[in-house]
């Protein structure tokens, strides 16, 4: 069965070299849906608590929220970093606190201090799904990701193999036989 969580992110991007309006800088509210598949954990009668999926995912995904997402070869990148530098906000600001841990994978690198994500590919709805899967595949049994952004929607299913060891009392993933949330120990 599946547990499903949905959340919104707000971001600015553009499709560098795309022949259309989207090559100009613009913004969206995007809706990301993550479906996690596993057996039903009999202790709590759920696959996985949705608020825990959200917490795990949001830790990473919030670096895309209120962020600028640009491709690594986009000439806007050095231009904007130059402005941020001059203004003294490139390396952070005391009110820029909604940051997740910086991440870097083959497809993207987050710079939370200046709310920037640099991507290898254009950040289309499809591109976002590829990045989210790459960033979260080792943390959640992701079966499907859907991303809606303006008129664009993309979705992709992923093969799920194996099951996660989950706490029978609170449902979160066990770490070495101990629940990191409630302290339950498997005998
Ligand atoms: Zn767009
Ligand atoms: Zn627990």
C-beta of residue 59 within 8 angstroms of C-beta of residue 170: no
Write down the CATH number for the domain with range 2-157: 3.30.479.10
Among residues 161, 100, 163, the alpha carbon closest in space to that of 132 is found at 100
Number of C-beta neighbours around residue 96 at 10 A: 13
List per-residue pLDDT tens for the chain, 187 residues long: 999 999 999 999 999 999 999 999 999 999 999 999 999 999 999 999 999 999 999 999 999 999 999 999 999 999 999 999 999 999 999 999 889 999 999 999 999 999 999 999 999 999 999 999 999 999 999 999 999 998 899 999 999 988 999 999 999 999 999 999 999 998 8
Ligand that comes closest to the CA of residue 166: 2
Ligand that comes closest to the CA of residue 23: 1
- The tokens describing 152, both together, are 């664009």
Q: Which pLDDT score is estimated for 131?
A: 98
The Å distance, Cα 9 to ligand 1 centre, comes to: 13
The Å distance, Cα 181 to ligand 2 centre, comes to: 5
Distance CA 107, CA 21 (A): 24
Strand runs labelled E in 1-66: 2-13, 26-37
Ligand that comes closest to the CA of residue 177: 2
Ligand that comes closest to the CA of residue 184: 2
Q: Which pLDDT score is estimated for 162?
A: 87
The Å distance, Cα 14 to ligand 1 centre, comes to: 6
Distance CA 2, CA 48 (A): 8
User: For the chain, which residues make up each domain, given as ranges?
Assistant: 2-157
Q: Which pLDDT score is estimated for 187?
A: 83
Angle at 58 between CA 119 and CA 18, to 5 degrees: 25
The Å distance, Cα 24 to ligand 2 centre, comes to: 48
Q: Which pLDDT score is estimated for 56?
A: 93
Q: Any residues with CB less than 8 A from the CB of 135 and at least 6 apart, and which?
A: 60, 61, 103, 105, 108
Distance CA 30, CA 46 (A): 27
The Å distance, Cα 27 to ligand 1 centre, comes to: 6
Distance CA 34, CA 57 (A): 9
Ligand that comes closest to the CA of residue 150: 1
The Å distance, Cα 56 to ligand 1 centre, comes to: 26
């Amino acid at each position: 069965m599946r547990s499903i969580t949905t959340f919104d992110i707000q971001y600015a991007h553009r499709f560098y070299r795309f022949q259309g309006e989207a090559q100009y800088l613009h913004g969206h509210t995007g809706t990301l849906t993550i479906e996690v598949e596993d057996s039903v954990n009999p202790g709590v009668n759920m696959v996985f608590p949705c608020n825990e999926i959200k917490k795990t995912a949001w830790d990473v995904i919030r670096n895309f929220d209120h962020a600028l997402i640009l491709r690594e070869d986009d000439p806007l990148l050095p231009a904007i970093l130059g402005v941020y530098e001059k203004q003294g906000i490139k390396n952070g600001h005391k009110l820029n606190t909604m940051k997740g841990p910086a991440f870097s994978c083959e497809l993207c690198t987050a710079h939370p201090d200046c709310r920037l994500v640099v991507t290898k590919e254009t950040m289309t709805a499809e591109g976002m799904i590829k990045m989210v899967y790459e960033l979260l595949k080792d943390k959640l049994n992701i079966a499907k990701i859907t991303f809606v952004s303006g008129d664009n929607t993309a979705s992709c299913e992923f093969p799920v193999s194996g099951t996660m060891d989950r706490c029978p009392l609170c449902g979160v993933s066990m770490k070495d036989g101990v629940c990191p949330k409630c302290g339950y120990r498997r005998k």
